[in-house]
Amino acid sequence: MSKAKIYIYEEYNDIFKNKRPWTLITGFPGFGYVGTIATRYLVSKLKAAKVGDVVTKYMPDFTAIEEYGLMTPYEIFACPGKDLMILVNNTLPQPPERVIYAVKFAEWFLSVGGKKAILAGGLNSKFREGEEEFRWICVNNCGWTFSEPQMEKGLYIVGPLATFFTIFNIMKIPTLLIFPYTEPSKYDPGAAAVFVRKVSELLNLDINIEDLLQYSKLVAEAEAALEEAIKSSRKEEKGPKPYM
């Protein structure tokens, strides 16, 4: 088997027989886990159908049961009525196969009529210049623009997102990258909500992000409580020791 293969379930073959002007949305569990949180949320809110999987040579050996069926490492969802495709990466592809994964998927995407792509990433909050929520890049005349600052010289994109972006650019696929600001080491549904809101506006999807914002608040409260507990524990350790 080659290192990457696209499997479309038989019952969904018909929607790919005739080319459609698909728009792809995808991301990876990188900074803030933004790409994976956002794509999974979009799948849930849009009630997208799981239509296939990407299978790779070094694919992680895990699966789980979700409302839609079997969750796998790299999942393809579709909303045919909206010409929308969502690639959910529940984990990072292994380094040796990241290029072939990106190439295989881009080739298949073009073969079924794919026209545009929107990629989700996370950008370290230390690069924020003002009150803006995100930065962005548009290549190959993607057609979208924002008042927020673009990514500037000296800021690197890394990991499989960089590989996807590079391959899509080489293959002349109009692509937009949106990078909400986030704390790199934290699970950040708030940053994912920024991405979902912008995509909803661009594609007229009318997606409510209140659930993500509420979840972000709960995560922040839990992290604050944990930090306070750790501080209290350290104070107790430094205090006088009781006699036994």
CB-side exposure of 244: number of CA atoms within 13 Å? 0
Sign (positive or negative) of CA dihedral 113, 107, 202, 205 = positive
Q: Which of 15-19, 37-41, 124-128, 168-172 has the highest mean pLDDT?
A: 168-172
**Does 244 map to a domain?**
no
Which tokens belong to 136? 């962005």
Output the domain CATH number for residue 202.
Answer: 3.40.50.10900
C-alpha 136/C-alpha 147 separation (Å) is: 10
Total number of domains in the chain: 1
Residue ranges making up the domain that contains 34: 4-238
**pLDDT reading at 188 higher than 80:** yes
Q: What is the pTM of this model?
A: 0.88
Structural domain contains residue 151: yes
Answer yes or no: is 135 within a domain.
yes
pLDDT tens across 80-130, in order? 999 999 999 999 999 999 999 999 999 999 999 999 999 999 999 998 988
Task: Tell me if 144 is assigned to some domain.
Answer: yes
In the chain, what's the furthest Cα-to-Cα distance?
79
In a domain, 47, yes or no: yes
In a domain, 243, yes or no: no
pLDDT of residue 132: 94
Please report whether residue 182 resides in a domain. yes
Percentage with pLDDT > 90 across the chain: 70
Q: Which of 118, 140, 130, 143 is nearest to 195 (CA)?
A: 118
More confident residue, 218 or 55: 55
Assigned domain for 178 exists: yes
pLDDT, tens digit (0-9, with 9 covering 90-100), for 118-147: 999 999 999 898 899 999 999 999 999 999
Write out pLDDT tens, residues 162-185: 999 999 999 999 999 999 999 888
